[in-house]
A and B are shown apart, each in its own frame.
Chain A
Amino acid sequence: MNLSGLGYLLKEGIKSIWTNRMMSIASVGVLISCLLLTGAASLLSLNVSNAVDKIGGTNVTRVFLSMDVLDDEARYIEEDIKRIDNVVKTEFVSKDEAIKDYQESLREDIFNQLIGEGNPLPHAVDVTMEDLAQYDRTVENIMKVQGVESVRDTREIAEKLTSLQKLVNTMSFWIILALTLVSVFIISNTIRMTMYARRFEISIMKSVGATDTFVRIPFIVEGMTIGAISGITTSVLMVFLYDAIMKSVQSIAKFELLNYSEVAVFVSIAFVGAGVIIGALGSMLSIGRYLRKEGNELLGW
């Protein structure tokens, strides 16, 4: 096939989207919804993984001191902790600093009551361990230090997050699989409609000796273009959707989410790629069956 022939086929495919615009819009709409849900599921999964990595991978453990420990006493306790085996670094976190973490999530009048005398938080020390394998023994030794009240067990959180991660991943997998199938089905139906509308042309093309590839290309182009349009639109919508989700998630809990700009390029490529592949797959699915038909069988289908 020569280049001008290919150009003609591409044009035919795109023209067909316009000719069947109602059907095209409908399938673009369904595809966008599927891609958005799939994307949201993937991003949730990605965020949970990221959080697990951050918390699980960190070897900083926060050690809370008793409420009655005074500022200067706290400094000595920090020194005591620093001398413990496996502790490589300590960082004192005064209760005044600790309360600041809550400033953004609390109403101003409430927050104002909590600073200074009204502060409900204890002083704390952030401890960095050398070897996490010795975590249990090190915590035991830290707890023996006078004035230490409790140790925030990050491992427990990590474990909880890991099981959450598993759940989220499994759910995302099934959601993605189901929605991909739905999308392929929708595209294949749209292309089937186009083929039906053009069955006449197909029968004539076949009768003058057009190859299957030649007959197929415009429909595959149509499917892939619908996929690409959906992918691009979804990429744009996802920026806003992610922003909205991020805001609502962070209003519930202080959860460190991935910044969209970190993943935007990857996510957009994935959306367009997924759209194009789904489009090609969906169209090939319906074309294969109907290319075998001949003459009246094709016309009367």
Chain B
Amino acid sequence: MIEFRNVSKVYHTGTHALNQVSLIIEKGEFVFIVGSSGAGKSTFLKLIMREETPTSGSIIVNDIQLEKLKRRKVPMLRRSMGIVFQDFRLIDKMTVYENVAFAMRAVGARPRAIKKRVPYILELVGLENKAENYPSELSGGEQQRVALARALVNNPQMIIADEPTGNVDPEMSYEIIELLHEINKRGTTVLIVTHEHNLVHSFNSRCITIDKGVVVEDAMEIKPSEGGQV
């Protein structure tokens, strides 16, 4: 589903954000990406959604080689992925409902489909009572879930979440990841960027560690309890 071949990214400022990264993420996987601040995690995600283009190397998403993808075709690529941004990117002057509906409208969904789908998604993330509130009236965690709802609403093949637990207490973090895990079980590929190692340990899943733009570890995390039995 996602393949990186010797991908490097150097920003115009001269920062080497990624260095010769090669990896494959299969359809249906549940993957954590961890690393310290500035390691290049967000850059990795931006390359997948083609918000940035690699300086060298090749990226393949859904059998499409991104460097050959015409600008005109980028929207189709993005419709296959739901993105939760590190900074949420909610629209302040729209209610929670409108924020989520907006993502459906932007891809030309019919009003009737929007009316049916948005309440369902809001219920899924536990925000059915906040539908008419504005983002400024929500807690960080609630805003986070709005962003998640917006990423989910178009029913994408994969979810890419940049620090979805950034502003949330540990319990809520766990719930958000648990929700993404549920979504993953229904066949959606999920990529989660986080620097909360504790969280990663609670799920038995693949974890890619990036440090200074290099993949330093790529392994299945074993739950501590199971680890003890080995």
Q: Does A248 count as interface, using CB distance less than 8 angstroms?
A: no
Q: Could you tell me if B91 and A201 are in contact, using CB atoms closer than 8 angstroms?
A: yes
B106 partner, pick from A2, A205, A295, A296, beta carbons under 8 A: A205
A2-B110, A5-B108, A200-B91 known; A294+B51 contact, CB < 8 A: yes
Give every chain A residue within 8 A of B49 (Cβ-Cβ). Answer: 207
CB nearest to A200 among chain B residues: B91
Give every chain A residue within 8 A of B105 (Cβ-Cβ). Answer: 5, 8
Give every chain A residue within 8 A of B76 (Cβ-Cβ). Answer: 209
Q: Within the complex, what minimum Cβ distance (angstroms) separates B83 from chain A?
A: 5
Give every chain A residue within 8 A of B91 (Cβ-Cβ). Answer: 200-201, 204
Q: Does A210 count as interface, using CB distance less than 8 angstroms?
A: yes
Chain A 175-204 residues near chain B, CB threshold 8 A? 200-201, 203-204
CA distance A293 to B38 in the complex (A): 23
Give every chain B residue within 8 A of A211 (Cβ-Cβ). Answer: 75
Q: Within the complex, what minimum Cβ distance (angstroms) separates A288 from chain B?
A: 12
Q: Does B72 count as interface, using CB distance less than 8 angstroms?
A: yes
CA distance A157 to B90 in the complex (A): 71
Quick one: CB contact mask for B60-99 with A, threshold 8 Å, 1 for yes? 0000000000011011111100110100010100000000
CA distance A295 to B71 in the complex (A): 14
Q: How many residues of B contact A (CB 8 A)?
A: 29
Give every chain B residue within 8 A of A294 (Cβ-Cβ). Answer: 50-52
Q: Does B120 count as interface, using CB distance less than 8 angstroms?
A: no
Give every chain A residue within 8 A of B71 (Cβ-Cβ). Answer: 292
Give every chain B residue within 8 A of A299 (Cβ-Cβ). Answer: 89
Q: Could you tell me if A4 and B111 are in contact, using CB atoms closer than 8 angstroms?
A: yes
CB nearest to B99 among chain A residues: A204
Q: Does A82 count as interface, using CB distance less than 8 angstroms?
A: no
What would 25 A/B residue contacts be, using CB atoms closer than 8 Å? A1-B108, A5-B105, A5-B108, A200-B89, A200-B91, A203-B89, A204-B89, A206-B78, A207-B49, A207-B51, A207-B78, A207-B83, A207-B85, A207-B89, A208-B82, A208-B150, A208-B154, A209-B74, A209-B75, A209-B106, A209-B107, A209-B154, A212-B75, A294-B51, A295-B52
Chain A positions near chain B (C-beta within 8 angstroms): 1-2, 4-5, 8, 200-201, 203-212, 214, 292, 294-296, 299
The 6 closest A-B pairs by CB, nearest first: A209-B79, A209-B78, A210-B106, A295-B51, A205-B106, A209-B75
